[in-house]
Amino acid sequence: QVQLVESGGGLVQAGGSLRLSCVASGSIFEIGTMGWYRQAPGKQRELVASITGDGQLNYANSVKGRFTISRDNSKNTVYLQMNSLKPEDTAVYYCICRNVPTTYWGRGTQVTVSS
């Protein structure tokens, strides 16, 4: 059993920044890929960014150059630094952790960007 807890969401103006954090706890033996999805009202859930256990990065085209994903394996934590935020970034952001064959999901944290 693995639990994920996100933090760092909030309300910011366009052009501002937020840093999301997600801590994994529980029965963790090997943590593989961690990442972030987001879902806006009336929209499909989409992958924002991911990072493998050995540091390979993947970003959605819409956030490249603005968002940075990182991890601290000693703390079982993944981060998402979000800069130059746009109103279209408004969504609930969900942390994920893959420990094959299982994918664990956090409960989500709201990010709202005002124009």
pLDDT tens, 63-86?
999 999 999 988 889 999 999 999
* pLDDT score for 49: 98
* Phi, psi values for residue 90, rounded to 5°: -60, 125
Element (H, E) at 57: strand 57-59
Q: Which residues of the chain have pLDDT under 50?
A: none
Tally of CB atoms within 10 A around 21: 17
Q: Which residue has the tokens 């956090």?
A: 106
Nearest to 93 by CA among 5, 17, 3: 5
